Amino acid sequence: MDTKRIDPNQTRLDYLKSLYLKKYTGRHFDLIIASNTDAFNFLLKNRDEIFPGTPVVFCGVVNFDNKMLDASTVLLVLLRHTMSQALSL
């Protein structure tokens, strides 16, 4: 998605959705990894259409709240560490 370099405005997100539908329709994935807030939000909105039934693991989501997930979202692992805990690893 490259949203840190290219602004994830609605036009860009619509383009990515169209691209992923063309590229991945009919393909099976065992798992999808979302590694930031933009990717996570994109998958929350579009996963069922682009990657139906595919589990999602996510990390790097800013201000995550369990209420963001609904019954169709599969949460496999959620680890919460403070910066000091992460650095001590």
For the entire predicted model, the pTM comes to 0.76
Task: Write out pLDDT tens, residues 19-45.
Answer: 999 999 999 999 999 999 999 999 999
Q: How far apart are CA 87 and CA 4, in angstroms?
A: 24
Q: Mean pLDDT, to the nearest integer, of 45-69?
A: 87
Rg over CA atoms, the chain: 14
Q: How far apart are CA 48 and CA 54, in angstroms?
A: 8
For residue 79, pLDDT beyond 90: no
Please, how many CA atoms are within 13 Å of residue 3, restricted to the half-sphere of its CB? Answer: 18
For residue 78, pLDDT beyond 60: no
Q: What's residue 82's pLDDT?
A: 59
